[in-house]
Structure 1
Amino acid sequence: MEEAISAADANRKFSHILRGVREGQSYVVTSHGKPVARIIPADEKTKVPAAAREALLSRLEAQPIVQAGRWTRDELYEDER
């Protein structure tokens, strides 16, 4: 569960926030009521890219290989207007 905290409060209570993060708490830092940053446990951040990478690789492995042939640089950047 994320807790919203203003930037000013985050500045004043930084050690308290770090203690909460160590215990698994996440925070959304706001400025003038709008979210500007997220403070999350360090290991939580790496889970999303790893899961996304695995999903992408499994999807790519399932796709058939397409033999597109060779093309020139001009053909790649050809304007189709």
Structure 2
Amino acid sequence: MPSISHREMRNNSASVLRGVQEGETYVVTNDGVPVASIVPSGEQAAELPLVRAATASDRIGSLTRHSIRGSVRETLDELRSER
């Protein structure tokens, strides 16, 4: 099963999809790590190895929420004028 990088898949998507249409299966990598399989419709993708288990993070939930008065456009215009 050929391996292609994310960039190669993005830049040559027509070629990759033609290969899939002809029955080819690809493993897509990101920084050399397998992250996805592209298989012909109706076929089962092979199991990819688990590289790193997902973890929950409270970093986003701990951020302070801020609200603004007026529209976003007005706020951006005001911030731009401060430059």
The two structures, once aligned, show a CA RMSD in angstroms of 1.9
d(CA) in 1 for partners of 2:37 and 2:26?
6
Confirm whether residue 14 of structure 1 aligns to residue 13 of structure 2. yes
Give the strand-richer structure, 1 or 2.
1
By relative contact order (CA 8 Å, sep 6+), the higher-ranking structure is: 1
Number of matched residues? 46
TM-score, normalization: structure 2? 0.52
**Residue-by-residue CA offset, 1:26-62 (whole Å, 9 max, x unaligned):** 000001100000000011139x9xxxxxxxxxxxxxx
Structure 2 runs not aligned, ≥5 long: 47-83
Give the helix-richer structure, 1 or 2.
1
Map 1:1-81 → 2, pairs under 5 A: 2-45=1-44
TM-score, normalization: structure 1? 0.53
- Once superposed, which parts of structure 1, at least 4 consecutive aligned residues long, lie more than 3 Å away? none
d(CA) in 1 for partners of 2:31 and 2:17?
22
Q: Percent identity?
A: 41
